[in-house]
Chain A
Amino acid sequence: MSQLQTRFFTEDKRYAVDDVPFSIPAASEVLDLSNVINKLLEARNASHSKVEFDFLVRGQFLRTSLSTHMDTEGISTEDVVEIEYVERITAPEPEECMMHDDWISAVDADAEWILTGSYDKTAKIWSLEGKPVMTVAGHTDVVKDVAWVKRDGLNSLLLTASLDQTLLLWEWNSERNKVKAIHCCRGHTGSVDTVATDPTGSKFCSGSWDKMLKIWSAVPTDEADEVEEPADRPRKKQKTQQLGLTRTPIMTLSGHNEAVSSVLWCDSEEVCSASWDHTIRVWDVETGEMKTTLTGSKVFNSISYSPLCRRLASGSTDRHIRLWDPRTKDGSLVLLSLTSHTGWVTSVKWAPAHEHQLVSGSLDNLVKLWDTRSCKAPLYDLAAHEDKVFCVDWTESGLMLSGGADNKLYTYKYSGVQTDAGA
């Protein structure tokens, strides 16, 4: 078996070749195949400049020689092999390094600004170019999670969740560069570890160490909610510390047996939460009921949902990234597990514009870029950090971010998104 009948196809119109079978050596690898395609393209178009390609055989990336790949995947070598090719994703490169004063616990970036939460009890706003814009200070303890709520012209709403059991809703004016605490969200009896805003920006959900999920309104108002406080409690200190108006939750979702580590909104009615009790639960926000429980075997640190492929990715303490279908009824189906990290996976994030790609951060100091079509090995290891990675994010503009215990927030330029955006 030295020659294989193959047929190449692509969805990228720029690089289309004739739909005829080719006979190519079975031992050829990605580079050889890439050369073949480039030759073909040059034959069609003399002005073609060389492009690196990646190849998919039956939805799996080719990483070894063609024959061994087909052996391991159990594909018959008798038939004509259909090989899809895509432009190779170039390695993401660290662009900016933003130094913080302390460990970075959370990062959230949108199209214009980057928001980071840090262990120095503050949150920071950065421009995409890496310039510090604003420091949001107000919490009495470590900021564990941050989230953008809404951008309304120059005014932005942002959220910080902290170990001091509160969440603060801030309003930030980018022109005047003023930040103001609007609401102090009280109600949790443990550190608030995670917060997520719903797609409309009118509500947000927080998860805490006290095993509760709470849904809050994100709409700023002028009056404080009533908080029933125990009578015998000394109030003096509280008053002085109070920042903004007190806000109480709309709804409390209880059901987890351990701390909630990560929440997200699947859509405007559905909240998904991951917990230390080894479960991922899907909740209906309207009724406050639990819809589905996905049971794992280890503590979940982080989950991420991709509306493109409708999959949940979870990072847990056993080094694996697992993909789940939140709509399964039996709730125990792991679709795929991506294993390459050697420490806890602290953070996962799906690409906002690509249905196959996700990025993960781990305690082994590595950030990895994954493609679900190649689950054996990640596409790229990003070894920029010198200490534990706690958070990763991915903007729609194709910027990847990661922050960790080395006080650095790295941004990575990533080129693969544009070409595959339509895919």
Chain B
Amino acid sequence: MEESSTRTEEMENVQKTEKKKRSKEEEEEEEEVFNLNNKTPGDEGDDEDPSDSEDSVFSGLEDSGSDSEDEEEEEGSHEEEDLKDDQILQPEKKKGGLTAEEEKKEDEYRQDSSDEEDIRNTVGNIPMDWYKDFPHIGYNLDGKKIFKPIRNKDELDEFLDKMDNPDYWRTIHDKQTGSDIILSDDQVALVNRLQRGQFGDLHFNEYQPQVEFFSSDVMLHPVTNRPADKRSFIPSLVEKEKVSKLVHAIKMGWIKPKRHEEAGGRFYDLWANEDCTTSLARLKMHLPAPRAPLPGHMESYNPPPRYLFTEEEKALWEQQDVSDRKCPFVPRRFSSLLQVPAFPRFLHERFERCLDLYLCPRQRKLRVNVNPEDLIPKLPKPKDLQPFPTTQSLVYRGHSGLVRSISVSPSGQWLASGSDDGSVRFWEVCSSRCLKTVQVGGAVKSVAWNPNTSLSLLAVALDSVVLVLSPSLADKQVVSASERLLAGPQGEEPAEEAGPVTWTDTEGEELNQGIRLKIQHPKPVQQVAWHAKGDYLASVMPDHSSHLQVFIHQVSRRRSQNPFRKNKGLVQCVSFHPIRPYFFVATQRSVRIYNLVKQEMTKKLQANSKWISSMAVHPGGDHVICGSYDCRLSWFDLDLSTKPYKMLRHHKKAVRGVAYHRLYPLFASASDDGSVIVCHGTVYNDLLQNPLLVPVKVLRGHVITHDLGVLDVTFHPSQPWVFSSGADATIRLFT
């Protein structure tokens, strides 16, 4: 019996060792603990471990059930060694089985099976309270009763033991044998280590390099030399069978493949059709419904007396149409809130409110967030637009009356000025020296130097006469050429003697002074203007009631003609186009442009000002500036519009004179406020680009006399210098 049991034990041990792949020591230690607890929680796990570890060595496929064969074949070679090992161990075990408990304990180290029956007590894994009424607690291997220890501990003993026994904490009651075991230090340390999750053996190196027996590497000496099975290359029959079963089931309709739940159940997206942007906009641009205004004093049940209607007001209220009423009810007074009756029109009012909410157009007003500074056009700095006149350089003194008009000779050497003191003076520009004074006997309204450089003539308008002066300040050839021009058509008797204009040669003193021709007009002449060629001269006689306001004189043939048959308004000033045969006539409100060849009006510029005072034509001929008595300067782009391209309101008082520079992009305006404002005005050849107008300098210097400031302004023909004449009888040069 004993031998057979040991025999079976041995066999089991052998099987066990065969299955295990772990190291021996580890197992032993584990066993010890399990034995102490007399439990075998790891039993089943141990059983399955080996199969797990040897799993899937040869193929990724699940080869269920075919494990055991492999293992047996594989491990057959190891069997003998293990058997030997067990035989060596056996004698000790036999001893342990026969000897006392201490020895038994030692034996336990040799026993490595936890699923084995407890050899100290053969009752098996049963609840031990079955034996609580017996004096023994089981039977040993030999079938003898194992008696309970005599000691019968009650709670008090337990407590005293706890208090007194220093080893109490390491004392364990073994239910199987009913004895108390005091754990040794080593065992306590082992328990602690295991509780911390460490290996039981102190000396076990858990990080020792592992030998990968079954890896992808081709080994020189492989663990097994067997070639791979054929079945690892062919599809698994089992799987095939399973799949075909499923397929068959599906075909037969036994299994229905899982279907996706159809979209659109009970709930659906109300705004699915709305595209994202509008919905976002709807959220972003949320507009709250307009609030009904809070009730005021008028709605109060006890309003202040001033809100209460008088009889007239009440009558008026009743007479008014419902829609006209200011308030939809009559304020009434009650001594207390209790007495307030129900509002008779409550439903109606609610309905109105709903209507309001429904019908009121809720629209977000786009607020324009513009920095006001961005609206100011970017203008270049005046510094970058140089040259332009900046400082007063010379003052031409000599006149005793206000200087109404100035003109610079086309060479730029001489300046002519006409004054109310009845004289015309000629000045040397560079030294401010008056070289010549011609007494003409009347307040000079206008002087104009002939723009033709091969002539040296000055037209002077005073009273009802236009004088043509030959100042003989130029080259002798030029002087003689201009005198020849003035001599008129030889031998040809002027036919229109009877006309309103008479031409006379001067004699005697006047001739010595340089006055060559007198053109007598029927009315006072306000302005004279030369054509660029220097042969034609236009004179202006402003008159409300007559069509005889403008004359065009041809100096070489001594002929005059009135180009207009109708009175289109009070003519202020005229000018010839510098290049083309156009004639500009400025009346009070507008500027008319006539084509002299076709003899028709081509354009009419609306100045948007009350009274035009002066006009200048750009040397290119496509731009016109007009100064007006209402402080404005308007720039017309003839290609652009008949309305002013720009209105400049820099002057405080009436603008008296305007001028363009012949070469530089400059224009200037003179005003009664005593200042001359020089502006930069670049004109581009590109028709798409608008002129660039920048005011660059305010020039002051003239003293305001009798509320008159600067009366005339003109540019030097070649330098960026501007001359101005003022009511203070001076002419000033700004450079």
Residues of chain A having any CB pair with chain B under 8 Å: 103, 105, 119, 142, 163, 165, 189-191, 209-210, 230, 233-234, 258-259, 261, 276, 297-299, 301, 317-318, 343-344, 363, 388, 390, 405
Q: Which residues of B contact A103 (CB under 8 A)?
A: 431, 433
Instruction: Report which of B393, B435, B480 forms a contact with A363, defined as CB distance below 8 A.
Output: B393
Is B719 a contact partner of A119 (Cβ separation < 8 A)?
no
Measured between beta carbons, the chain B residues less than 8 angstroms from A343 are 393
Cα distance, A363 to B430, chains bound together (Å): 10
Q: Within 8 Å CB of B412, what residues of A?
A: 258-259, 276
Which residues of chain B from 359 to 395 have a CB within 8 Å of any chain A CB? 387, 393-394
> A142 with B411: in contact, given A189-B475, A190-B475 (CB under 8 Å)?
no
Bound CA span A234–B480, Å: 9
Q: Whole-angstrom distance from the CB of A46 to the nearest CB of chain B?
A: 56
The answer to the question of B735 belonging to the interface, with a C-beta cut-off of 8 Å to chain A, is yes
- Known contacts A210-B475, A230-B477, A297-B387; decide if A317 and B735 are in contact (CB<8 Å): yes
Given known contacts A276-B718, A276-B719, A297-B387, is B432 in contact with A388 (CB within 8 Å)? yes
Q: Is the CB of A363 within 8 A of B394?
A: yes
Residue among A142, A317, A390, A405 making CB contact with B435, cutoff 8 Å: A142
Given known A-B contacts A165-B475, A233-B480, A258-B718, A317 and B387 have beta carbons under 8 A apart:
no
Residue-wise, chain B 403-442 has the 8 Å CB interface mask toward A (1 for contact) of 0000000011100000000000000101111010000000
Contact of B411 among A105, A190, A233, A405 (CB under 8 A): A190
Q: How far is the CA of A405 from the CA of B430 in the complex (A)?
A: 13
The answer, among A234, A259, A299, for a CB contact under 8 Å with B413, is A259
**18 further interface pairs, Cβ-Cβ under 8 Å (given A142-B428, A163-B435, A234-B480):** A103-B433, A189-B475, A190-B474, A209-B411, A210-B475, A259-B413, A276-B719, A297-B387, A317-B393, A317-B735, A318-B735, A344-B393, A344-B394, A363-B393, A388-B431, A388-B432, A405-B431, A405-B433
* Bound-state Cα–Cα, A320 to B476, Å: 36
CB distance from A228 to the nearest CB of B (A): 13
Among residues of B, the one whose C-beta sits closest to the C-beta of A390 is: B431
A103, closest chain B residue (CB): B433
Question: B719: which of A190, A261, A299 is its contact (CB, 8 Å)?
Answer: A299
How far, in Å, is B382 (CB) from chain A's closest CB? 16
Chain B residues within 8 Å of A209, by CB: 411, 413
Query: Is A165 a contact of B431 with CB atoms below 8 Å?
Result: no
B435: nearest residue on chain A (CB-CB)? A142
Closest Cβ of chain B: how far from A176's Cβ, in Å? 34
A108 to B310, alpha carbons, bound, how many Å? 106
Which single residue of chain B is at the shortest CB-CB distance from A119?
B433
**Cα separation A317 to B412 with both chains bound (whole Å):** 15
A189 to B475 CA separation, bound complex (whole angstroms): 5
Which B residues between 436 and 477 are near A, CB-CB below 8 angstroms? 474-477
Chain B interface mostly: loop
The residue among B393, B430, B477, B718 with the most chain A CB atoms within 10 A of its own CB is: B430
Q: A60 to B735, alpha carbons, bound, how many Å?
A: 32
Question: Are B477 and A189 interface neighbours, CB within 8 A?
Answer: yes
B219-253 residues at the A interface, CB under 8 angstroms: none
Residues of chain B within 8 A (CB-CB) of A344 are: 393-394, 735
Q: How many angstroms from the CA of A297 to the CA of B735 in the assembled complex? A: 12
User: Chain A nearest CB: distance from B307 CB in Å?
Assistant: 77
Q: How far is the CB of B479 from chain A (nearest CB, A)?
A: 11
- The size of the chain B interface, using a CB distance under 8 A, is 21
Q: Once bound together, how far apart are the Cα atoms of A91 and B432, in whole Å? A: 31
B526: min CB distance to chain A, Å: 33
Q: CB within 8 A of B476: which of A165, A258, A301?
A: A165
- B474: chain A residues at CB < 8 Å are 190
Which of A230, A276, A405 gathers most chain B CB within 10 Å?
A276
CA distance A397 to B394 in the complex (A): 34
How far is A190 from B477 in the complex, measured between Cα atoms in Å? Answer: 11
**Can you pick out 7 interface pairs between chain A and chain B where the beta carbons lie within 8 Å of each other?**
A142-B433, A233-B480, A259-B413, A261-B430, A297-B387, A301-B430, A405-B433
Cβ–Cβ < 8 Å partners of B431 in chain A:
103, 105, 388, 390, 405
Q: How far, in whole Å, are A230 and B479 apart by their CA atoms in the complex?
A: 14
Q: Are B735 and A191 in contact (CB under 8 A)?
A: no
B474 smallest CB distance to A (angstroms): 8
Q: What is the minimal beta-carbon distance from A306 to any residue of chain B, in angstroms?
A: 25
Among residues of A, the one whose C-beta sits closest to the C-beta of B413 is A209
Residues of chain B from 659 to 700 with CB closer than 8 A to chain A in the complex: none
A210 to B477, CA, bound (A): 13
User: Residues of A contacting B394 with CB < 8 Å?
Assistant: 344, 363
Max chain A C-beta neighbours (<10 A), residue from B411, B431, B474, B476: B431
Q: Which 7 A-B pairs have the closest CB atoms?
A: A189-B475, A317-B735, A209-B413, A344-B393, A258-B718, A299-B719, A119-B433
Q: CB-CB < 8 A to A210: which residues of B?
A: 475
Chain A residues positioned under 8 Å from B475 (CB to CB):
165, 189-190, 210
How far, in angstroms, from A317 to B475 measured CA to CA in the complex? 26
C-alpha gap A191/B433 in the complex (Å): 14
In the complex, chain B residues whose CB is within 8 Å of the CB of A230: 477
List residues of B (702-735) whose CB comes within 8 Å of A's CBs: 718-719, 735
Q: How far, in angstroms, from A390 to B411 measured CA to CA in the complex?
A: 22
Cα-based distance from A301 to B430 in the complex (angstroms): 9
Most buried by A among B387, B413, B435, B477: B413
Shortest distance in angstroms between A342's beta carbon and chain B's nearest beta carbon?
Answer: 8
A233→B479 CA distance, assembly (Å): 11
B735–chain A nearest beta-carbon distance, Å: 5
Query: B475's closest neighbor in chain A, by CB?
Result: A189
The CA-CA distance from A301 to B432 in the complex, in Å, is 14
Hey, what's the 0/1 contact readout for B458-502 against A, CB within 8 Å counting as 1?
A: 000000000000000011111010000000000000000000000
Bound-state Cα–Cα, A318 to B478, Å = 32
What is the CB-to-nearest-CB distance from A144 to chain B, in angstroms, rounded to a whole number? 9
- Shortest CB distance B487–A (Å): 12
Q: Report how far A318 CA is from B395 CA in the complex, Å.
A: 16
* A145 to B475 Cα, complex, angstroms: 18
Contacts of B428 in A (CB 8 A): 142
- B 102-136 to A, binary, CB cutoff 8 A, 1 in contact else 0: 00000000000000000000000000000000000
Cα–Cα distance between A318 and B412 once the two chains are bound (Å): 18
Chain B: minimal CB distance from A130 (Å): 24
Give the chain B neighbours of A234 by CB distance below 8 A. 480
Bound CA span A105–B474, Å: 20
Q: Which residues of B contact A298 (CB under 8 A)?
A: 387
Contacts of A189 in B (CB 8 A): 475, 477-478
* A191 to B477 Cα, complex, angstroms: 13
Q: Distance in Å from the Cβ of B412 to the closest Cβ of chain A?
A: 8
Q: Is the CB of A191 within 8 A of B413?
A: yes
Question: In the assembled complex, which residues on chain B have CB atoms less than 8 Å from the CB atom of A301?
Answer: 430
Residues of B487-524 whose CB lies within 8 A of A: none
User: Which residues from chain B contact A142 at a C-beta distance below 8 Å?
Assistant: 428, 433, 435
Q: How far is the CA of A210 from the CA of B735 in the complex (A)?
A: 22
Q: In the bound complex, what is the Cα–Cα distance between A388 and B430 (angstroms)? A: 12
Q: How far is the CA of A301 from the CA of B476 in the complex (A)?
A: 26
Chain A hits for B433, CB < 8 A: 103, 119, 142, 405
Instruction: Report A-chain residues with C-beta under 8 Å of the C-beta of B430.
Output: 261, 301
Complexed CA–CA distance, A136 and B223 (Å): 140
Closest to A105 in B: B431
- A276 — which chain B residues lie within 8 A by C-beta? 412, 718-719
Q: Which residue of chain A has its CB nearest to the CB of B476?
A: A165
CB distance from B185 to the nearest CB of A (A): 86
Q: How many Å from the CB of B462 to the closest CB on chain A?
A: 27
B residues within 8 A CB of A390?
431
Q: Give the docked Cα–Cα distance between A245 and B475 (Å).
A: 20
Q: For B435, what are the chain A residues with a Cβ–Cβ distance below 8 Å?
A: 142, 163
CA distance A234 to B479 in the complex (A): 12
Complex contact A190–B413 (CB within 8 A): yes
Which residues of B sit under 8 angstroms from A233, Cβ to Cβ?
A: 476-477, 480
Closest to B387 in A: A297
Q: How far is the CB of B389 from chain A (nearest CB, A)?
A: 11
Name the residue on A nearest B386 (C-beta).
A297
Q: Which of A298, A317, A318 has the most CB of B within 10 A?
A: A317
